Structure 1
Amino acid sequence: MLGFFGCAPVYIPNVVNTPMLSNQGELQGAFYTGVSGFDPQFAYAITDHLGVMLNGSFSNKTNDSLNNFHKHQFIETGVGYYTKIGESGRFETFGGLGVAKLKSDYSNNLWISYTDLYSYRAFIQPSIGAATDFFDGSFSTRFVMLSIFQNNLNYNAYFIEPVITAKVGYKYVKAVFQLGFSFPVNSNELIFSYQPLLFSIGIQAKINTRPKK
């Protein structure tokens, strides 16, 4: 998820979960690959207006020629409100908390950049869009607060992350594409680098677990 106090280690936003839930009992699962690594996501509609989500992000990259590596594990959970706007329109707002662990080494002959940290993240994420049998589209903005810990150091940072998400397929299985950007609220005060681009592709499946009457 993020790096700290180094050149190459960066904050890497995970995929924004945009379920666009429709009805009670709807269960979604999705798997993505992109700049943040491997990102699994799940969402479930507890009622016709209350949903929950579980998101993860994992990466394990190694450069054998330089002995450099990057490893991170991130998991977060959230709860939110959703509603229909007409037949196809959707509005939802989710908020939640996550925790991350990261290790990386991007050292070379000129510098040593080693990171070993953990962090907490809080977010709130409103989204608006539409969901049909063939296509889902949405615009979301995730507001993020990071609290980062390394050794005896602690640092807080804030980001705004707008994304667009498109899902194409038929009813229960769709291919997913997401593109967005991560903007620090106070970029001149940042003491670590970050990944400004959110880009991922994946596949999503959904079922309705509520028995039909």
Structure 2
Amino acid sequence: MKKICYQFILLLIAVGIVSCNRHIYVPNTVNVPLLKEKHEFKASISPTNLQTAFALTDNLAIMANGQYVYRFDFSDRSDEQGLFVDNQTRGGVVEGAIGFFKPFGPKKQMVFDAFAGYGMGSFKTFTIDKNDNPDANANDYLLKNRFSKVFIQPSIGFVHPVVEAAFSSRFSMLNFYNNTIGPKAFENDATGKSNFQHINSQSNFFYEPAFTFRVGYKYVKFQLQLQASIPITNSDYREYKLNEFFQPLAFGMGASIDIARWYHQIGKK
């Protein structure tokens, strides 16, 4: 675990010096349910994500996730956008998955789960700051893409009535299509236009590790997640040289709800 934390810190330092914008892919929150028993239901909600999971049996579960990024502010773009936030991006994804979970340890406080799923979504953004050109037609600088998504997501975590903590490794494959490029989006930038079009020419693979932390009591907890999104498609993206069209980090806060019978057994012999 110390080694994983150390590698994640190095990743944050590496992406911290990258100024990314024009995002046409913003990773959605990793759904880490950490279920422990049959018919347990867990959901989480944040300003941009809604996630649910339900245990069909003592080891089999399903999940459904939705994301909608609405940070669309073409007239007032923050100077600090890029690493966590691009105020000109709007869009999202819907996805479903099926998976396996297994509590283990002397008190069954550790949980391993692994999900495989499929999703579809789209994002749009702009290549200029409206403040730099207030008379510009926004659609002339529009970038838009649709995509399909396949992912595999193993996680391991600690579950307690008060605190939950987990580390997840999501491996995603995205296929972009139906790209839209405004007529002035890449004026005098042939390289940028070629890079954007290249995204549609191949499957794009991402490694998306995440740390999830929850604190509260039993059924309701505050949730926090820090997540990276590392493109691993080709050599240009290795060693954390991140593509400008993919948001490299996501930080989310929200609430988690857990409906489970095992809470009633706490303190009973």
User: Scaled by the length of structure 2, what TM-score is found?
Assistant: 0.68
Q: Cα gap change, 1:103/1:49 in structure 2, threshold over 3 Å: closer, same or farther?
A: same
Equivalent residue number for residue 182 of structure 1: 229
Whether contact under 8 Å (1:29, 1:41) holds in the other structure is yes
CA distance in 2, matches of 1:187, 1:179: 25
Whether contact under 8 Å (1:27, 1:209) holds in the other structure is no
CA distance in 1, matches of 2:88, 2:206: 26
| Secondary structure at the counterpart of residue 188 of structure 1 | helix
Superposition pairs for residues 17-56 of structure 1, below 5 Å? 17-33=31-47, 38-56=48-66
CA distance in 1, matches of 2:249, 2:145: 22
Equivalent residue number for residue 169 of structure 1: 216
1:59 CA drift (Å): 1.8
1:84 CA drift (Å): 0.8
Task: Give 1 or 2: higher helix fraction.
Answer: 2
Superposition pairs for residues 55-94 of structure 1, below 5 Å? 55-60=65-70, 61-64=72-75, 69-86=88-105, 87-94=108-115
Equivalent residue number for residue 124 of structure 1: 152
Whether contact under 8 Å (2:24, 2:145) holds in the other structure is no
Gaps of 5+ in 1: 1-5
CA distance in 2, matches of 1:28, 1:203: 11
Larger radius of gyration: 2
Q: Cα gap change, 1:197/1:115 in structure 2, threshold over 3 Å: closer, same or farther?
A: same
Whether contact under 8 Å (2:23, 2:247) holds in the other structure is no
State the AA in 1 paired with 2:63. Answer: M
Q: Cα gap change, 1:201/1:154 in structure 2, threshold over 3 Å: closer, same or farther?
A: same
CA distance in 2, matches of 1:181, 1:202: 18
Superposition pairs for residues 192-203 of structure 1, below 5 Å? 193-203=245-255
CA distance in 1, matches of 2:147, 2:205: 13
CA distance in 2, matches of 1:41, 1:187: 33
Q: Is 2:258 the counterpart of 1:206?
A: yes
Gaps of 5+ in 2: 1-19, 78-86, 181-199, 265-269
Alpha carbon RMSD of aligned pairs, Å? 2.7
1:151 CA drift (Å): 4.2
State the AA in 2 paired with 1:202. Answer: G
CA distance in 2, matches of 1:69, 1:162: 25
Whether contact under 8 Å (1:149, 1:155) holds in the other structure is no
Whether contact under 8 Å (1:100, 1:118) holds in the other structure is yes
Aligned length: 201
Superposition pairs for residues 126-141 of structure 1, below 5 Å? 126-141=154-169
Equivalent residue number for residue 207 of structure 2: 160
